[in-house]
């Protein structure tokens, strides 16, 4: 506690079980065989360290035992009584175990006097374990009423939040411990079962000794939270377990498995995810007893893994709580109830709770949720098996989704064509190695609806063509700045072919798309090697001192650092059997130019081209034309993508030609005015057209003879 030094012994609650400790260990007991009614006495520590707040909670938690099942015990064969103790100075005629109350049915009914006596407890004094077990200086309490309660108890449940300090002097003194141990041995000799509950984080060595004869023997010892809020559950469990040894029962055999599933793993924008809740009853014949159920929602902070909430290879955990779930994720989460019900029975097989858990079956995510947040749902059952007392509180493995975003790409100044192959490559087979048909290449991207009523996604400025389906990708800049419609027909005006109510399918197979022009051969033709880069790992191209021409590395890899290509320079980098890694921005001198030959240009030809995550601008032709690889990757960070990785927008100014284009940037797709920002912009600028006509020679000039203003598209 803050601002208060607690030096008094803390309260303890003992429950005495009158069939002998052998029965607790699973051994037969003559008392157990003869008993048909279980009488459990709850022993309440009322020493001063409990305090009024905890006492009030404790009293209410004990009253809950009389509630209908499954919350309470609710068993006609179980009766409950209580007595209380602290460190009462004994004089003849004093009942040191008062207030107390005799046995009443756990099904409630006539519990008025029980509750009145329970409410009359006041906390004061120290902690005398011996008196808590109904003895003083080795003599059983013989005061009227209480002596019959002690003698008739089958089970004694003793609870404390402290250590014995009376008789004798000081906490855990030998006199106090030995006196309490002697009392326990007398109860066990009389055939009673005894269990002990320790409150909070108090050392339990003395309680272990008093009940079991050893400071480290924790048999029949249970723990209660420091605020007593789980006391009902703990008492119901311990009393139920021990009474089950005494009372013959009609046995059902079943186990309930709670399950939460979702097909959604990421939600973004204004999207809705769905969850399903089911309970499987393992029995083929038995309907389960009534059980309370609930759905817990955990909101987990970004950056925190939710893997522990999947319980490894286990489908559930028993005796669980929200606090334990939050602890699994390092307290980086909140846990709340979002649905639930009471007294639900489950037939054999699977039962859906979706209708009853309706409020928890959908989750709508909008821009108010921080990206990276995880939202998880867990289904719980208070009584998951045919044993009504243990286990309790079965928690399903969590089903989680991440609040994310869908990065987009924009192709400006040209078309997007998918499914073609380089003219130097053989045409891909129409079947794979097993003889199954290869799927025709297509375009599939995701769109994101936003709260502003617009839909955002990837788009190309002009047309898009593919032999396979085109899904979620806009043509004619249809999703630029968002589109008020989420209907693909509204933003697919230049998506070619389209058939059978699907978009795409420009040709029956990729042979009809034609080939990717052999630009590499055309650019390399007639060029002598200006500089052989054999043995060179890193280069940069800056300033007028850089010579135009072909820079070649026949084997091995090459890195290009920050470069600004000077006016009038044409640079061709050829690494036919290696990887070119672009580690720095590549730009062109801004001019002004008076002749087409002054337009700078860089062409990069390689087996594979990778771009570092810190690079934001690449002004170059990128050609990965290897049949063995042919990959262009916009971010070469090899890890699993998150919003912390590859999150800078990348602009490529120049044609992009590859067998495989890996778009790995995660930037853009923000909120508000940034909703339409792209992760990658691939732009085919006019200077690429002009340079390709002159190929760096000055005998071609571009002259403006007249100007006509036209609409953007005509």
CATH number of the domain at 129, please.
3.40.50.410
Are 266 and 228 contained in the same domain?
no
Are 214 and 266 contained in the same domain?
no
Domain that holds residue 48: 11-243
> What is the phi/psi pair of residue 43, to 5°?
-105, 120
Are 231 and 351 contained in the same domain?
no
Are 549 and 663 contained in the same domain?
yes
What's the predicted TM-score (pTM) here? 0.61
Provide the token pair at 227. 């605020």
Are 77 and 48 contained in the same domain?
yes
Which residue stretches of the chain have pLDDT < 50? 1-35, 429-433, 436-437, 510, 696-698, 714
Are 219 and 275 contained in the same domain?
no
- What total of structural domains would you count in the chain? 3
DSSP state of 677: -
Provide the token pair at 192. 């009673």
CA distance 233 to 259: 23
In a domain, 389, yes or no: yes
Largest Cα separation within the chain, whole Å, is: 125
In a domain, 479, yes or no: no
Are 129 and 70 contained in the same domain?
yes
> Is the sign of the CA dihedral 158, 380, 107, 114 positive or negative?
positive
Are 285 and 385 contained in the same domain?
yes
**What phi-psi label fits residue 591: left (phi over 0), alpha (psi between -120 and 50 degrees) or beta?**
left
CA distances from 588 to 240, 552, 625 (A): 81, 21, 24
Residue among 470, 474, 528 nearest 502 (CA): 470
In a domain, 219, yes or no: yes
HEC profile of 541-567: CECCCCCCEEEECCCCCEEECCEEECC
pLDDT of residue 712: 63
Q: At CB < 8 A and 24+ separation, what contacts does 332-338 make?
A: 332/300, 332/301, 332/303, 332/304, 333/298, 333/299, 333/300, 333/301, 333/304, 334/298, 334/299, 335/296, 335/297, 335/298, 336/296, 336/297, 337/294, 337/295, 337/296, 337/297, 338/295, 338/296, 338/297, 338/377
> Is the sign of the CA dihedral 363, 368, 374, 379 positive or negative?
negative
pLDDT of residue 427: 52
Are 611 and 548 contained in the same domain?
yes
Are 81 and 26 contained in the same domain?
yes
User: 132 with 45: CB under 8 angstroms?
Assistant: yes
DSSP state of 387: S
């Amino acid at each position: 506690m803050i601002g208060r030094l607690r030096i008094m012994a803390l309260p303890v609650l003992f429950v005495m079980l009158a069939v002998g400790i052998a029965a607790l260990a699973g051994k037969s007991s003559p008392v157990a065989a003869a008993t048909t009614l279980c009488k459990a006495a709850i022993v309440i520590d009322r020493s001063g360290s409990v305090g009024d707040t905890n006492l009030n909670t404790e009293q209410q938690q004990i009253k809950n035992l009389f509630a209908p099942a499954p919350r309470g015990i609710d068993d006609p064969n179980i009766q409950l009584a209580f007595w209380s103790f602290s460190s009462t100075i004994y004089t003849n005629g004093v009942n040191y175990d008062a207030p107390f109350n005799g046995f009443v049915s756990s099904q409630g009914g006539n519990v008025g006097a029980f509750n009145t006596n329970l409410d009359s407890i006041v906390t004061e004094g120290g902690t005398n374990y011996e008196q808590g077990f109904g003895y003083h200086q080795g003599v059983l309490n013989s005061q009227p009423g209480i002596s019959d309660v002690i003698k008739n108890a089958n089970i004694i449940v003793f609870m404390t939040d402290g250590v014995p300090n009376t008789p004798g002097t000081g906490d855990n003194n030998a006199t106090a411990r030995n006196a309490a141990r002697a009392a326990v041995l007398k109860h066990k000799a009389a055939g009673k079962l005894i269990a002990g509950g320790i409150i909070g984080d108090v050392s339990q060595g003395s309680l272990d000794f008093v009940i079991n004869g050893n400071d480290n023997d924790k048999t029949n010892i249970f723990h209660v939270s420091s605020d007593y809020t789980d006391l009902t559950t703990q008492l119901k469990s311990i009393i139920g377990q021990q009474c089950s040894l005494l009372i013959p029962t009609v046995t059902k055999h079943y186990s309930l498995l709670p399950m939460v599933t979702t097909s959604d793993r990421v939600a973004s924008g204004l999207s809705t995810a769905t969850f399903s809740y089911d309970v499987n009853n393992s029995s083929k014949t038995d309907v389960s007893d009534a059980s309370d159920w609930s759905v817990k929602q955990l909101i987990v902070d970004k950056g925190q893994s939710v893997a522990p909430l999947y319980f490894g290879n286990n489908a559930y955990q028993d005796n669980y709580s929200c606090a334990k779930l939050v602890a699994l994720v390092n307290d980086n989460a909140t846990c709340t109830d979002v649905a639930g019900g009471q007294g639900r029975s489950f037939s054999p097989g699977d039962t859906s709770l979706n209708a009853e858990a309706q409020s928890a079956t959908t989750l709508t995510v909008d821009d108010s949720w921080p990206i990276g947040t995880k939202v998880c749902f867990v289904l719980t059952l208070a009584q998951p098996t045919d044993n009504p007392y243990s286990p309790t509180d079965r928690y399903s493995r969590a089903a989680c989704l991440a609040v994310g975003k869908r990065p987009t790409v924009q192709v400006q100044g040209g078309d997007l064509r998918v499914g073609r192959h380089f003219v130097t490559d053989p045409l891909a087979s129409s079947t794979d190695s097993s003889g199954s048909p290869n799927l025709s290449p297509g375009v599939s991207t995701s769109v994101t609806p936003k709260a502003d009523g617009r839909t955002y996604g990837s788009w190309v400025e002009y047309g898009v063509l593919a032999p396979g389906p085109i899904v979620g990708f806009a043509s004619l800049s249809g999703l630029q700045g968002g589109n008020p419609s989420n209907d693909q027909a509204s933003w697919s005006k230049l998506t070619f072919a389209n058939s059978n109510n699907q978009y795409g399918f420009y040709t029956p197979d990729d042979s009809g798309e034609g080939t990717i022009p052999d630009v590499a051969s055309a650019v390399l033709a007639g060029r002598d090697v200006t500089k052989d880069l054999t043995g060179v790992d890193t280069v940069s191209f800056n300033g007028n001192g850089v010579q135009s021409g072909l820079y070649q590395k026949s084997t091995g890899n090459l890195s290009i650092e920050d470069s600004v290509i000077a006016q009038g320079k044409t640079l061709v980098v050829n690494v036919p059997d290696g990887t070119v890694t672009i580690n720095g921005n590549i730009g062109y001198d801004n001019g002004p130019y008076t002749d087409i030959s002054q337009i700078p240009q860089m062409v990069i030809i390689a087996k594979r081209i990778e771009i570092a995550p810190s690079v934001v601008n690449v002004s170059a032709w990128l050609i990965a034309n290897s049949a063995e690889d042919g990959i262009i990757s916009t971010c070469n960070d090899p890890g699993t993508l998150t919003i912390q990785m590859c999150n800078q927008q990348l602009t490529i100014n120049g044609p992009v030609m590859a067998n495989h284009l890996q778009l790995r940037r995660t930037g853009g797709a923000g909120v508000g005015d940034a909703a339409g920002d792209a992760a990658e912009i691939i732009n085919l600028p006019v200077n690429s057209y002009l340079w390709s006509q002159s190929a760096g020679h000055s005998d071609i000039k571009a002259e403006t003879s007249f100007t006509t203003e036209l609409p953007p598209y005509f």
